[in-house]
Amino acid sequence: MLKCTRCGREYPLDEPYQRCECGEPLELELFKGLPGIGRRVWERFSQFFPFELDLELSLGEGDTPLTKAKHLSKELGVRLYLKNETLNPTWSFKDRGTFVGIHRALELGFKRIGTVSTGNMAASVAAYGARFGFETFILLPSNIAEEKLKALALYGAKIIKVRGDYGELYYKSLEFGRDRGIYFINSDDPFRVEGYKSISFEIIEDVTPDYVLIPTSSGGLFRGIVKGFLELKESELIEELPKFVVIQAEGCSPICSAFYEERQKIERFENPHTIAHAIENPYPPSGNAVLRLLRKLEGLCVSVDDKEILSAQRALGEEGIFVQPASATSIAALKKLRENGTVEKGAKVVSILTGSGIKTLHQVKAPNVEDGELSE
Amino acid sequence: MLKCTRCGREYPLDEPYQRCECGEPLELELFKGLPGIGRRVWERFSQFFPFELDLELSLGEGDTPLTKAKHLSKELGVRLYLKNETLNPTWSFKDRGTFVGIHRALELGFKRIGTVSTGNMAASVAAYGARFGFETFILLPSNIAEEKLKALALYGAKIIKVRGDYGELYYKSLEFGRDRGIYFINSDDPFRVEGYKSISFEIIEDVTPDYVLIPTSSGGLFRGIVKGFLELKESELIEELPKFVVIQAEGCSPICSAFYEERQKIERFENPHTIAHAIENPYPPSGNAVLRLLRKLEGLCVSVDDKEILSAQRALGEEGIFVQPASATSIAALKKLRENGTVEKGAKVVSILTGSGIKTLHQVKAPNVEDGELSE
> End of a domain among A184, A203, A231?
A184
Whole-angstrom Cα distance, residue B45 to residue A38?
Answer: 19
Q: State mean pLDDT over A204-214.
A: 98
Q: Do A101 and A126 sit in the same domain of this protein?
A: yes
Q: Do B88 and B105 sit in the same domain of this protein?
A: no
Q: Do A234 and A254 sit in the same domain of this protein?
A: yes
Residues B165-184: pLDDT tens digits? 777 899 999 999 999 999 99
Band (pLDDT 50/70/90 cuts) for residue A55 is very high
CATH of the domain at A179: 3.40.50.1100
The verdict on a CB contact (< 8 Å) between B91 and A366 is: no
Predicted confidence (pLDDT) at residue A174 exceeds the cutoff of 70? yes
Q: Do A165 and A312 sit in the same domain of this protein?
A: no
Predicted confidence (pLDDT) at residue A191 exceeds the cutoff of 70? yes
Chain A CA closest to residue B70: A131
The verdict on a CB contact (< 8 Å) between B127 and A64 is: no
Band (pLDDT 50/70/90 cuts) for residue A266 is very high
Q: Do B97 and B237 sit in the same domain of this protein?
A: no
The parent domain of residue A142 ranges over 93-184
Residues A112 and A134 sit within 8 Å (Cβ to Cβ): yes
Residues A69-107: pLDDT tens digits? 999 999 999 999 999 999 999 999 999 999 999 999 999
Residues B13 and B1 sit within 8 Å (Cβ to Cβ): yes
Band (pLDDT 50/70/90 cuts) for residue B376 is low
Predicted confidence (pLDDT) at residue B191 exceeds the cutoff of 80? yes
The verdict on a CB contact (< 8 Å) between B370 and A91 is: no
Band (pLDDT 50/70/90 cuts) for residue A287 is very high
B31, part of any domain: no
Chain B residues with CB under 8 Å of A84 CB are: 59-60, 89
The percent of residues in chain B predicted with pLDDT above 90, rounded, is 93
Residues A88 and A120 sit within 8 Å (Cβ to Cβ): no
The verdict on a CB contact (< 8 Å) between B374 and A316 is: no
Chain B residues with CB under 8 Å of A320 CB are: 59, 89, 127-128, 130-131, 155
State how far residue B161 is from chain A, nearest Cα, in angstroms: 5
Chain A CA closest to residue B82: A59
- The pTM of the full predicted model, rounded to 2 decimals, is 0.97
The verdict on a CB contact (< 8 Å) between B322 and A151 is: yes
Selected residue of B361, B363, B375 to mutate for chain A interface (largest A Cβ count, 10 A) = B361
Q: Which amino acid is at A272?
A: P
Q: Do B202 and B317 sit in the same domain of this protein?
A: yes
A372, part of any domain: no
Chain B CA closest to residue A88: B87
B120, part of any domain: yes
User: Total domain count for chain A?
Assistant: 2
Among A352-356, A363-367, B285-289, the least confident range: A363-367
Selected residue of B358, B362, B363, B365 to mutate for chain A interface (largest A Cβ count, 10 A) = B358
Per-residue confidence (pLDDT) for residue B144, from 0 to 100: 84
> Strand, coil or helix: what is B268?
coil
Whole-angstrom Cα distance, residue B129 to residue B131?
Answer: 5
State how far residue B280 is from chain A, nearest Cα, in angstroms: 20
Residues A121 and A96 sit within 8 Å (Cβ to Cβ): no
Chain A residues with CB under 8 Å of B57 CB are: 70
> End of a domain among B184, B204, B223?
B184
Phi, psi (degrees; rounded to nearest 5) at A244: -95, 135
State how far residue B359 is from chain A, nearest Cα, in angstroms: 7
Chain A residues with CB under 8 Å of B368 CB are: 159
Band (pLDDT 50/70/90 cuts) for residue A114 is very high
Predicted confidence (pLDDT) at residue A164 exceeds the cutoff of 90? no
Per-residue confidence (pLDDT) for residue A147, from 0 to 100: 84
State how far residue A240 is from chain B, nearest Cα, in angstroms: 26
Mean pLDDT, rounded, of chain A = 96
Predicted confidence (pLDDT) at residue B160 exceeds the cutoff of 90? yes
> Which letter does DSSP use for residue B323 in this model?
B
Q: Do B114 and B246 sit in the same domain of this protein?
A: no
Residues B219-272: pLDDT tens digits? 999 999 999 999 999 999 999 999 999 999 999 999 999 999 999 999 999 999
Residues B54-97: pLDDT tens digits? 999 999 999 999 999 999 999 999 999 999 999 999 999 999 99
Other CB atoms within a 10 A radius of the CB of residue B342 amount to 16
Q: Do A288 and A340 sit in the same domain of this protein?
A: yes
B141, part of any domain: yes
Chain B residues with CB under 8 Å of A373 CB are: 162-164
A13, part of any domain: no
Q: State mean pLDDT over B342-360.
A: 97
Residues B358 and B91 sit within 8 Å (Cβ to Cβ): yes
Selected residue of B61, B138, B150 to mutate for chain A interface (largest A Cβ count, 10 A) = B150
Per-residue confidence (pLDDT) for residue A166, from 0 to 100: 78
The verdict on a CB contact (< 8 Å) between B65 and A372 is: no
Q: Do A291 and A206 sit in the same domain of this protein?
A: yes
Mean pLDDT, rounded, of chain B = 96
B249, part of any domain: yes
Helices (H), A45-184: 71-76, 94-107, 120-132, 146-153, 166-180
ipTM score? 0.96
Q: Do B202 and B156 sit in the same domain of this protein?
A: no
Per-residue confidence (pLDDT) for residue A319, from 0 to 100: 98
State how far residue B256 is from chain A, nearest Cα, in angstroms: 29
The verdict on a CB contact (< 8 Å) between B160 and A372 is: yes
The verdict on a CB contact (< 8 Å) between A367 and B321 is: no
Chain A residues with CB under 8 Å of B70 CB are: 56-57, 131, 133
Per-residue confidence (pLDDT) for residue B167, from 0 to 100: 79
The verdict on a CB contact (< 8 Å) between B374 and A57 is: no
Beta strands B211-215 and A2-4 are unpaired
Q: State mean pLDDT over B337-348.
A: 98
Selected residue of B87, B94, B140, B207 to mutate for chain A interface (largest A Cβ count, 10 A) = B87
| Region for residue A198 given its phi and psi (left: phi exceeds 0; alpha: psi -120 to 50; beta: otherwise) | alpha
Per-residue confidence (pLDDT) for residue A376, from 0 to 100: 64
B124, part of any domain: yes
Q: Do B254 and B178 sit in the same domain of this protein?
A: no
